[in-house]
Chain A
Amino acid sequence: MEYLRAFVVGGLICVIGQILIDKTNLTPARILVCFVTLGAILTAIGVYEPIVKFGGAGATVPLPGFGYTLAKGAMKAVDEMGVLGAFTGGVRAAAGGITAAVVFGYLAAVLFNPKMKR
């Protein structure tokens, strides 16, 4: 059941992205930026937390989930250490993902080469 919920929630978030790609001239890069920002804003106004509770990885794996992690981290750090937390909390919460992206991204780029397209 948990898997089904993740599937449906994750799938629906992607469908929103697909509609944006097909119906507007937004490039995938812009979609990614919009989704991260949107995820952070929705978290701030308390909308995204219930979606995460319901959908699990279906809500955290898509890019709004990255925004969720950042915003939630910032708010939690503000609770703990005040205004400084706004600057340290977001990246601290997302540190694993960001570092993984840099390191694995670098390794993959160095080890592999682009293939000819058919």
Chain B
Amino acid sequence: MDVKQQKLNKEYQEYVQRKMPKSYLLRDCVLAFLVGGTICTIGQAVSNFGKSYFNLNTEEASAFTAIVMIFIGALLTGLGVYDDIGKYGGAGSVVPITGFANSIVSPAMEFKKEGYVFGVGSKLFSIAGPVLVYGISTSVLVGLIYFFVK
């Protein structure tokens, strides 16, 4: 690409950036705070419920909470409600573990027509896969480093 075209591109891109309609950052953040906060509060209630009714210890309660929250996220995605929450909640509905469930169910459901192995089976992990890859790999790395510096 010649220099003149590069200059033109740069000018155009800067001009587009300047003129582009902006996201309403403040509004988005307030909504993300409220939605995310609400989901976490529900999580806290689930955790307390597990502790008092099933006498779970802290670690068991956190696994119990994860399981219940993932169930809720998967169910709401199936019912077609979670994407409506996501439209307003933004990161508030993406970042909690319910969003992780949403990212698993939504592609799997969408690609069901491609069959149960390459449709549902493989698409379950189209977004969750990378999360597990990097999450688990980091935990192994953390464990190894911990082993050597301990």
Contact = CB atoms under 8 A, between A and B. Distances in A.
Interface of B: 23, 25, 28-29, 32-41, 43-48, 59, 62-67, 69-71, 74-75, 77-80, 83, 89-92, 94-101, 103-106, 108-110, 112, 116, 120, 124, 127-128, 130-132, 134-136, 138-140, 142-147, 150
A105 B112 contact: no
Contacts of B96: 10, 14, 61-63
A105 B25 contact: no
Contacts of A106: 108, 120, 124
Among A9, A67, A69, A105, the most chain B Cβ lie within 10 Å of the Cβ of: A105
B44 to A, nearest CB: 4
8 closest pairs, A vs B, by CB? A10-B40, A86-B143, A14-B36, A90-B139, A11-B37, A17-B91, A74-B143, A112-B78
**B contacts with A: majority SS:** helix
A14 B32 contact: yes
B78 A2 contact: no
**A contacts with B: majority SS:** helix
A101 B33 CA distance: 24
A23 to B, nearest CB: 7
Contact of B120 (A32, A93, A104, A110): A110
Given A10-B41, A90-B139, A97 B70 contact: yes
Contacts of B23: 22
A96 B95 contact: no
Contact of A83 (B28, B37, B132, B144): B144
13 contacts: A3-B41, A11-B36, A11-B92, A15-B36, A29-B103, A29-B127, A58-B44, A61-B43, A62-B97, A70-B138, A108-B105, A109-B109, A110-B112
